[in-house]
Amino acid sequence: MANTAKLDIDGKVLELPILEGTEGERAIDFRNLRAKTGYITYDESYANTGSCQSKVTFIDGEKGILRYRGIPIEELAEGSTFVQTAYLVIFGHLPTEAERVEFSGLLTKYQMIHEDMKFHFEGFPSSAHPMAILSAMINAAGCFIPELTKDYQPEVFEQQAARLLSQVRTLAAYAYRKSRGLPSIYPKRKYTYTENFLHMMFSEPDEDYALDPAIVDALDLIFLLHADHEQNCSTATVRMVASSRANLFASASAGVCALWGPLHGGANQAVIEMLKEIRADKDDGTKFLDKVKNRGAGAKLMGFGHRVYKNYDPRARIIKRRSDELLAKLGISDPLLDIAKTLEEAALNDPYFIERRLYPNVDFYSGIIMQAIGIPLEMFTVIFSIGRMPGWIANYKEVMEDPDSRIYRPRQVYQGPTLNHYVPLFER
Ligand code: CMC
């Protein structure tokens, strides 16, 4: 394999170094291209651009492989918890028992939000989407940590990371209860991370929510499966904001906004809405798939397709199996799951989807589990945000600890008007 690539341009031959990742991904290093030739590279939507070198997550989209810090997602889903996986993603190794205890202790220590934060919640109309509230409240929570206004301090980073990871869950539950006009519920020390979230969502001041281990495990798995996914839209956003040396909470708050859209994390909500629409239409999916293929009203099969996976998303495979198990355990028969399965089978055998290599992604079945757990539809993407927090934190840390880190600042190919002149108002 070559160590350099040659670019023949304007009668000059430029040698460009080739960079190789630990899993064999090869990239041509274009960093000096403009300085040497006057040209920039053009790659709208960055489909072919390596924007950083990262040690957090490896994906082979052709083979359907996902690993956090080298460990296959299937092994983590089987043996780990969300909190241990979060530690792995953020700090690069599975925690020892002592590290686990210390990190869990920090999560517990920081689980309460400042009482004054409650006033911030008052300002939102009841129609506000919890993702809007969550993004605003993460940024607001950062205002209660004075040292965040100083530049990155590695010695307090573990505390700040734990504080964000712990409080995102509290803020998310408060956002939900506020949107329903319900009193907020404080976290309890005796509960695990995921138990506490369910408690804050569903307990009442006069009655604790009865925790069901099957539900706790299912939600913990959903969090774990979302923990990181390399340079997706929201993580790339977090890195972009971090590169200006903005603080951790501000960067994560931007990540929530990027995640919200239906092409990214918002797809889990969109999938359930789509399945409900198909059901209301008394369609078995055939009519809907025809509409998608004919591009009717821009219809897409939500929960299908991925920029990187050209194979079955391994997270979707795990969730599909677990949703079957959970629904059986809870004795729920969800007609939407049947529609989803019929749609999946039809799409996987349809030339439109085969040619484009479109497979189910993580969002196709996650909504079914969340619905079975009792999570309201508008909270689906919030759940994704809680799960993705470790990945955002880990990527933030990488940006901050990279001695060569510079502000992210892409260029553009300008296509606007050429020089023309200001015309005073009375002459226009
Ligand atoms: N339904 C129908 N057609 C599709 C779909 C879909 N879900 N996804 C892609 N296509 C078509 C697309 O129209 C294009 O066709 P053509 O070549 O004829 O123009 C072709 O497949 C290639 O797609 P693309 O739009 O170039 O793919 P992309 O990499 O830009 O977009 C995506 C990736 C995930 C945004 C897209 O597949 C999509 O919109 N899927 C539905 C939304 C969704 O499920 N998003 C969740 C993604 S996974 C979790 C996450 O990131 O949050």
Reported as a single tens digit per residue, the pLDDT across 227-271 is 999 999 999 999 999 999 999 999 999 999 999 999 999 999 999
Q: Where are the beta strands (DSSP E) in 40-131?
A: 57-60, 65-68, 71-72
Instruction: Please say if 306 is a catalytic residue.
Output: yes
DSSP for 278-297, written as a single string: HHHTT--SHHHHHHHHTTGG
User: So what's the pLDDT on residue 333?
Assistant: 87
DSSP 211: -
Nearest CA, atom 32, ligand 1: 306
For residues 333 and 60, give the distance between their C-alpha atoms in angstroms, rounded to a whole number. Answer: 35
Residue 277's H or E segment, with its range, is: helix 267-280
Question: How far is residue 118 CA from its own chain's centroid?
Answer: 26
Give the closest residue (by CA) to ligand 1 atom 16.
356
pLDDT of the residue at 149 = 84
Average pLDDT value for residue range 174-190? 91
* Rounded mean pLDDT, 362-374: 91
Would you say the CB of residue 267 lies under 6 angstroms from ligand 1? yes
Q: 186 C-alpha vs ligand 1 centroid, how far in Å?
A: 40
pLDDT category of residue 113 using cuts at 50, 70 and 90: very high
The answer to whether residue 213 scores a pLDDT higher than 90 is yes
Mean of the pLDDT values across residues 11-30? Answer: 96
Ligand 1 pocket test: which of 228, 232, 308, 361 has the largest number of ligand atoms within 8 Å of its C-beta? 361
Atom of ligand 1 nearest to the CA of 364: 44
Best mutation site among 45, 306, 350, 363 for ligand 1, i.e. most ligand atoms within 8 A of its Cβ?
A: 306
In percent, the amount of the chain with pLDDT more than 90 equals 89
Strand partners, 337: none
Going by pLDDT thresholds of 50, 70 and 90, the confidence category of residue 178 is confident
Q: Enter the pTM of the model.
A: 0.95
* 269 Cβ inside 6 Å of ligand 1: no
Q: Provide the percentage of residues in the chain whose pLDDT is more than 70.
A: 100
For residue 318, the 8-state DSSP code is H
Q: Residue 122 above 90 pLDDT? A: no
Told to judge if 284 belongs to the known catalytic residues of this protein, a careful annotator would answer no
